[in-house]
Each structure stands twice: as structure tokens, then as C-alpha cells.
């Protein structure tokens, strides 16, 4: 019977394993005896460092190698040993288990049992700790480092000689079949049937993106390789060379090391491993090809802009990223015949809908409105302090407004109707709620223009909702000579215009299309204008709140008035001195002046203030 060699350290008494075993086991103390012969069956009870010293010998001598769990070999034990098995049981299994050829990962010739970590990658470990308290401590420590975190420039060369320059916060290199000690969230990326190494790169362009990535790992815990976050990149290849101008500090299975460059490669069938837990790998991909998913990471001109600098609070777009958007916004800032035609048609349709008191017709006018283009261009001009873009956008927007007012006034003069409809009345008393609509519209418009995958027509509708109807009401008010009506609608229009421009400018700022120092002046002026406009909006909102309070305090439904039963409904409440309350009374009995007076006294006592009551009485039989 061929002997089985047990290489162990001084922490093991080999008799505890050999006794009762029928196999011919020869114990060898590590470092004090000769190595086993070629082709021998060898079982190791050693720490990670000692196993790595014998690793290449095992390959050269074609040992059939088995690994026993050792207290100081957490990486090798995790990768090659059965989980939750006692030492004696594991030894018995290794004596009986078959051997198979195994691909292994190396870094600069050193075997890798778990992973190679370059830079700051604690984010992958937020859910790997065994206690929630330590996980939150890890999160707190990371938050403290936000302002010290930096991206660094690296050059990567794959097995097919694809050369990539990137600015990265950190990287992790691991072999597909391993269970890494760190990075449980990467489980879905690893494919045991893929015989390539995987590099997971982290490159948040801003502190906000890094926070979003942390929260995703903390609460979701895993990365889907089919839908990678914008801050994560993935490379799968057989060989990968990493280099940096100032060298690379890294951790190999938790051990801190440094080198000018790292050469990581998968060594095919490098080790004959005895392990009952390993299964034959079936390749599910062409290992000769490289898989790269790095499009979202900073490359090209962005590397020089972001490398070796503190990560900004918000993402700064590179010149390549905003060049096309900026060209498009410059074109949109200039009035065209199509813009003027659509402006006229949308206002004519809106005025018709307002007179007809038809919401669907007004919505049609919103869809036609072309105001999105100059307003978004105006917002970019404010964000980047671009005087040329600002002048063109203001000129186009002013021309469109004048044209719209002229058309609205003309239609009003020609229209034989002079009744104030509910759709008109709804736009005469703007409040802070209307400002909220404007802000949301501005964010939608800027975001849709910045992101190609978002339909820009959606933003056009959102912005038109807040601009075309009040502008048309201004024209109707001027046509009737009602300055109060025109002034109320103009306040709403101005509120929406300023709110949209400010929100869009801030959105461009957050998305990284403008630096803070350029945006400071334009945003400050817009904020000041918005603050001034907000004063009457706040007062109007207070009146709305008070009106709702009065309505809730008023009696409604079935009421008793001087022993007569009636159905009471509130029609309108108009604040004033005194407050006018309009109600409708429906009763099967005849109601008269005495009943109305009794109802007025009851409401006065309930509200604690004088009122003027306007009652519509209907007899039901």
C-alpha cells in the first residue's frame, strides 16, 4: 500500500489522526524533514503561509494534495476544505476522496486562495461581519474617510492585449470557483463553470455615488452582473496585468504587500487536489475571450480630471460626457420657425380649452408647447455662467412669451364669451403647491436632457403643464382689461418659470455638468428671485390652509334647522371681511328666511366669527 504523507506543524499531534486508520500514513514535521516523492498523496495541516511555500512544489512534483482545516489557514480552508466538518472526519474523507486537476490563481507567482484587494474596498464587506454592531462600525469608519477617499490611475492589460486606463477607488481580483473570505455580495458574479479570473473595480465619481453604493450593499447585499451599478466595473479574463505610475499597494489573502505591477493569471490544471467538495467544472463561456463591463467607469479624459484628487461631493461630468448635450442646448436656445409655429398653436389650443372649460383640450396644448428647449438651455446657462447661452435662451423665451400673449389677447377679443371658467379661476391664486409643480418639472426636464435613455417628450409635457395654461390666462385677462386676473396668472407663470429654471440648474449641478464656482452667481440670483416670489405664494398658501380649516369646521350632510331636516353642502368659501360662505340646502319641506338666518347664527357660533351666508334652497319631493 502506497504511503500517505501528512505534513503538519508543531500544533498537531499526528497520532490523534492516524490512530484507528487503516491507511499507511507517514507524518512529516514541516521544515524538518525531506519532501515527499513525486506523485505522492500528501495531506497538509499548515497555516496559509506554509501552504503557499509548498504550493509550487506540489505542482512540480504532481502531488495529490489534500488540505486539512487549520486555525491559521482561514483562506485555504475556506477555499479547499469541506465546511463544518471535524478535523478527524475531514482527514478520513481525504484518505478516501478522489483527486482532480484544479485551475489556480496566482499573483506575481504567489498562489491566491481568496482574493487580491487593491485600494479601498471595505464596501464589499459591510454584510460579511458576524455582528450588526461591527457592520455599523465599518460604515461609520467609512463615512469618516469620505473626504480622504481618492481615485487613482491604473492601467490594465487583459489576456487578449486589451489595454484600459481607468481612475479607480479600488479593485478585487478573485478566481471564479473560490468562496472569497471577503466579498459575499459578489456571489452572483462568480460562476464556478467559468475558468477565468474576475476583476471587480469600484470607481464612484462622487461622494453621493459612493453613499448610494454603500447603502445598496448594506441593504441589498449583492451585485447582479447583468445590471451593474454605475460605480462598478467587471472584467473576466485568463490573465490580467495591473500597473500604476507610483506602484501598487495591495493585500493578497489579507497580507499587505507592494509591487510596481501585478500579474494575475489563472494557471490551468495547476494542482492535483483531493477534496470531496469539489465538482468537475463545466465551462459555460469561451475562456479565450475577455469579458469587459467598464463603460460607466471614468476613463479617457476623466482619468486626469479625477485621479489623485479628493472625490467631489457631486459627480463632475467629463468633457466627453457633456459635449453633445451642450451642443444640443445651444441649438435649442435659438428660436426657429418650428418653435414659433408650435408656440402659436399651443396657446391657441390652450385659450380655446380655457373658454370651453375643457381639461382634455388644455392637456393637448401642453403636449404641443415647445417651451422646454429654451428653459433648459437657460438653466444650463445659469449653471455654467455662459453669457452667450443665457442671452440666446432669454431672447427666444421672451419672443415666445410675447407671441403667446399677442395670440391670447387677439383670440379673447374675437371670442364672444366673457365668462370666468373654473379652469381660468384655478390659475389666478397660485400657492407654494404650484411652486412644487415647477420644481418637479424642472428636475424632470434637466434629467431627461442629460440622460439619453429618458424620453425627452415626457419632460416637455411636465414643463408645459406649469407654463402654457397660466400664460394663456394672462392673455385672456389683458384682453378683458382685467389687470387683477392678468396679475394673478402672471404670478403663477413667473413662479413656474423661475422654479423650473432653478430646479433644472441645480439638477445639472448635481449631475456634474457644471462646477459650483461657475454656478454660484446664476443660482444665487435665481434663488433671490424665487425668495421674493415665494412671499405672496406663502400668503396665498396660508389663506388656502385657513379656507380648508373653515370648510372642515362647517356642518355638512344632514342637518336640523328649526325642526326641519335638510341636506347641507358647501359650495364655496371666500375669505374676506366678513367671510362669504355659499351653501346649498335640499329639503322635502319648504325653507324660508328664518331657516337661513338660523343656519347663519349656527355657523357664526361654530366658527366664532362674523360671516355672510349665501344659500341656494331646493325643494325635494
Lowest mean pLDDT among 46-50, 353-357, 364-368, 469-473: 364-368
How is residue 268 written as a grid cell?
490551468
- DSSP for residue 580: E
Average pLDDT, the chain: 82
What is the average pLDDT across 106-111? 92
Confidence of residue 328 (pLDDT cuts 50, 70, 90): confident
Torsion over CA of 81, 86, 90 and 91, rounded to 10 degrees? 130
464, 524 contact by CB (below 8 A): no
What mean pLDDT do residues 44-56 have? 92
What pLDDT score does 371 carry? 83
Identify the CA nearest to 136 among candidates 125, 150, 120, 146. Answer: 125
Find the mean pLDDT for residues 542-560: 83
> What average pLDDT does range 25-50 have in this prediction?
90
User: pLDDT value at position 129?
Assistant: 38
> What does the pLDDT read at residue 48?
92
Residue 287 has pLDDT above 80, yes or no: no
> Given pLDDT bands bounded at 50, 70 and 90, which one contains residue 136?
low
> Minimum mean pLDDT among 167-181, 577-591, 592-606: which range?
167-181
Residue 38 confidence class, pLDDT cut points 50, 70, 90: very high
Least confident of 73-82, 287-296, 513-522: 513-522
Is residue 408 scored above 50 in pLDDT?
Answer: yes
pLDDT of amino acid 54: 92
Higher pLDDT, 333 or 284: 333
Q: How far apart are CA 74 and CA 48, in angstroms?
A: 7
Q: What is the pTM of this model?
A: 0.62
Q: Give percent of the chain with pLDDT exceeding 70.
A: 85
569: which 3 cell numbers?
353642502
109-123, 299-313, 423-437: lowest mean pLDDT where? 299-313
Give residue 149's pLDDT band: very low, low, confident or very high (50, 70, 90).
confident
Between 605 and 315, the higher pLDDT residue: 605
Q: What are phi and psi of 66, to 5 degrees?
A: -125, 145
7: β partners: 28, 44
pLDDT, residue 131, reads 39
CB atoms within 10 A of CB 228: 18
Whether residue 217 is predicted with pLDDT greater than 80 in this model: the reply is no
Spatial distance between the Cα atoms of 308 and 19, rounded to a whole number of angstroms: 60
Predicted confidence at residue 398, as pLDDT, reads 92
- Of 92-106, 186-200, 228-242, 435-449, the poorest mean pLDDT is in 186-200
| pLDDT at residue 181, rounded to an integer | 45
What's the pLDDT at 241? 95
Report the pLDDT value the prediction gives residue 130, as an integer from 0 to 100: 37
Nearest to 115 by CA among 71, 161, 61, 78: 78
**Please, which residues bridge with residue 579 across strands?**
611
Cα gap 114→109, rounded to integer Å: 15
pLDDT tens-digit map of 397-407: 999 999 999 99
> Does residue 573 contact residue 580 with C-beta atoms inside 8 Å?
yes
CA dihedral 216, 217, 221, 222 (to 10 degrees): 80
- Better-predicted residue by pLDDT, 151 or 477: 477
Amino acid 112: pLDDT: 92
Closest CA to 242 of 306, 163, 298, 178: 163
| pLDDT at 126 (0 to 100) | 42
- Residue 165's SS3 state is strand
Q: Which three cell numbers stand for residue 83?
A: 465546511
Q: Residue 138: its pLDDT value, please?
A: 55
* The pLDDT of residue 346 is above 80: yes
* Per-residue confidence (pLDDT) for residue 410, from 0 to 100: 93
Share of the chain above pLDDT 90, in %: 22
Least confident among 308-322, 369-383, 468-482, 532-546: 308-322
Of 73-82, 273-282, 326-335, 346-355, highest mean pLDDT: 346-355
Which residue has better confidence, 350 or 321?
350
Task: Using the predicted structure, report yes or no on whether residue 84 has a pLDDT greater than 90.
Answer: no
DSSP state of 263: E
Q: Is it the case that residue 465 has pLDDT exceeding 80?
A: no
- With beta carbons less than 8 A apart as the criterion, state whether 6 and 27 touch: yes
Average pLDDT rounded to a whole number, residues 199-222: 76
Amino acid 142: pLDDT: 59
Average the pLDDT over 83-97 and give the result: 85
Residue 185 predicted with pLDDT over 70: no
Amino acid at each position: 500500500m502506497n504511503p500517505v504523507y501528512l505534513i503538519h506543524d508543531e500544533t498537531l499531534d499526528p497520532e490523534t489522526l492516524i490512530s484507528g486508520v487503516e491507511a499507511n500514513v507517514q507524518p512529516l514535521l514541516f521544515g524538518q524533514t525531506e519532501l515527499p516523492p513525486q506523485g505522492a498523496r500528501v495531506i497538509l495541516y499548515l497555516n496559509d503561509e506554509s501552504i503557499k511555500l509548498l504550493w509550487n512544489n506540489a505542482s512540480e512534483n504532481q502531488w495529490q494534495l489534500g488540505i486539512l482545516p487549520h486555525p491559521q489557514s482561514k483562506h485555504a480552508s475556506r477555499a479547499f476544505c469541506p465546511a463544518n466538518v471535524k478535523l478527524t472526519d475531514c482527514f478520513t474523507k481525504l484518505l478516501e476522496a478522489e483527486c482532480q486537476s484544479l485551475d489556480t490563481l496566482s499573483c506575481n507567482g504567489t498562489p491566491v486562495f481568496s482574493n487580491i484587494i487593491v485600494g479601498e474596498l471595505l464596501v464589499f464587506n459591510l454584510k460579511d461581519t458576524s455582528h450588526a454592531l461591527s457592520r455599523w462600525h465599518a460604515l461609520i469608519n467609512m463615512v469618516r474617510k469620505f473626504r480622504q477617499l481618492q481615485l487613482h490611475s491604473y492601467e490594465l492589460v487583459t489576456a487578449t492585449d486589451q489595454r484600459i486606463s481607468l481612475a479607480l477607488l479600488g479593485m478585487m481580483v478573485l478566481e471564479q470557483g473560490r468562496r472569497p473570505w471577503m466579498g459575499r455580495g459578489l456571489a452572483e458574479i462568480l460562476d464556478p463553470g467559468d475558468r477565468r479570473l474576475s476583476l471587480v473595480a469600484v470607481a464612484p465619481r462622487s461622494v453621493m455615488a459612493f453613499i448610494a453604493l454603500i447603502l445598496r450593499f448594506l441593504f441589498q447585499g449583492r451585485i447582479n452582473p447583468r445590471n451593474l451599478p454605475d460605480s462598478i466595473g467587471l472584467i473576466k479574463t485568463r490573465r490580467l496585468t495591473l500597473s500604476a505610475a507610483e506602484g501598487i499597494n495591495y493585500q493578497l489573502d489579507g497580507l499587505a504587500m507592494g509591487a510596481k505591477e501585478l500579474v494575475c493569471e489563472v494557471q490551468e490544471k495547476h494542482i492535483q487536489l483531493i477534496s470531496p467538495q469539489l465538482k468537475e467544472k463545466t465551462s459555460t463561456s469561451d475562456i479565450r475571450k475577455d469579458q469587459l463591463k467598464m463603460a460607466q467607469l471614468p476613463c479617457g479624459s476623466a482619468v486626469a480630471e479625477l485621479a489623485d484628487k479628493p472625490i467631489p461631493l457631486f459627480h463632475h461630468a467629463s468633457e466627453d460626457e457633456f459635449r453633445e448635450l451642450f451642443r444640443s442646448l445651444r441649438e435649442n436656445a435659438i428660436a426657429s420657425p418650428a418653435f414659433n409655429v408650435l408656440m402659436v398653436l399651443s396657446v391657441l389650443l390652450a385659450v380655446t380649452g380655457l373658454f370651453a372649460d375643457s381639461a382634455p383640450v388644455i392637456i393637448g396644448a401642453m403636449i404641443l408647447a415647445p417651451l422646454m428647449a429654451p428653459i433648459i438651455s437657460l438653466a444650463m446657462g445659469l449653471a455654467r455662467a455662459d453669457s452667450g447661452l443665457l442671452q440666446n435662451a432669454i431672447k427666444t423665451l421672451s419672443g415666445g412669451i410675447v407671441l403667446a400673449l399677442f395670440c391670447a389677447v387677439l383670440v379673447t377679443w374675437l371670442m364672444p364669451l366673457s365668462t370666468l371658467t373654473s379652469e381660468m379661476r384655478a390659475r389666478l391664486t397660485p400657492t407654494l403647491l404650484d411652486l412644487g409643480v415647477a420644481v418637479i418639472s424642472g428636475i424632470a426636464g434637466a434629467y431627461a436632457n442629460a440622460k439619453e435613455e429618458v424620453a425627452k417628450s415626457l419632460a416637455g409635457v411636465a414643463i408645459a403643464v406649469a407654463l402654457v395654461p397660466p400664460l394663456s390666462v394672462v392673455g385672456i385677462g389683458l384682453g378683458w382689461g382685467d389687470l387683477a386676473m392678468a396679475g394673478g396668472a402672471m404670478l403663477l407663470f413667473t413662479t413656474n418659470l423661475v422654479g423650473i429654471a432653478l430646479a433644472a440648474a441645480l439638477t445639472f449641478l448635481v449631475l456634474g455638468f457644471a462646477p459650483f464656482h461657475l454656478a454660484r452667481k446664476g443660482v444665487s440670483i435665481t434663488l433671490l428671485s424665487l425668495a421674493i416670489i415665494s412671499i405672496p405664494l406663502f400668503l396665498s398658501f396660508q389663506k388656502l390652509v385657513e379656507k380648508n380649516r373653515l370648510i372642515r369646521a362647517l356642518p355638512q350632510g344632514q342637518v336640523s334647522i328649526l325642526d326641519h331636516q335638510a341636506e347641507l353642502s358647501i359650495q364655496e368659501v371666500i375669505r374676506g371681511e366678513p367671510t362669504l360662505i355659499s351653501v346649498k340646502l335640499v329639503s322635502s319641506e319648504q325653507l324660508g328666511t328664518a331657516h337661513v338666518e338660523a343656519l347663519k347664527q349656527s355657523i357664526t357660533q361654530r366658527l366664532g366669527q362674523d360671516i355672510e351666508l349665501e344659500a341656494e334652497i331646493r325643494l325635494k319631493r
